[in-house]
Amino acid sequence: MLFPYKQFTINTSYSTTEVICELSQVIQSRQSIQTNAEVRKHFVGNINKESFKIVRNIFYLNSFIPTIKGVVEATNRGANIKIAMTGNPCVLLAITAAFSFLPFFLMIMFAEANVTTLYLLIGVLGGGSVGYFFYIVLLGLNMNIDKKYLQQILPVKTS
């Protein structure tokens, strides 16, 4: 699990057409300039007859928002929506690199004695691990927010 992701399925009594209709009410297409805040929908992305790829639509910058890909499959009792959430691999790489090189630079700047290669290696690997953990935690929090919202707009089947 080098690149974190979350997969889950929402089983609903809605038909595939109803699911796409419900989703289209909260998804808007990508626009370079937002003209009216009142028409702002919860997600931005693409939706077609049986799948979608969306990202939460926010006013502020947040590098930890997951990309949500979903496939709507018809069943004899409604529809299954298979959802996969992933983070941006470039953000993961940047955060890990930043946390990796921070101990390296601190050791070089404040070292009064010789800093051995082993200490540098431990510092870089330890810092990278902290950066990776930081990314996983913040991405997981954002994934849970999006998962709860999707479960609210697509009621779970009650059978």
In contact, 157 and 13? CB cutoff 8 Å: yes
* Domains detected in the chain: 5-87+145-153 (3.30.530.20), 90-131 (no CATH)
**Torsions phi, psi of 34, nearest 5?**
-85, 120
| Phi, psi (deg, nearest 5) at residue 99 | -70, -25
For residue 150, give the nearest of 99, 92, 85, 89 by alpha carbon: 85
Which run of H or of E encompasses 119? Answer: helix 117-153
- pLDDT string in tens for the chain (159-residue length): 577 889 999 998 888 999 999 899 998 887 656 666 557 788 999 999 899 999 998 877 788 899 999 999 999 988 999 999 999 889 998 998 888 888 777 777 776 666 677 777 888 888 889 999 999 999 999 999 999 998 888 876 544
| Alpha-carbon distances, residue 23 vs 6, 17, 65, 100, 155 (angstroms) | 20, 10, 18, 40, 12
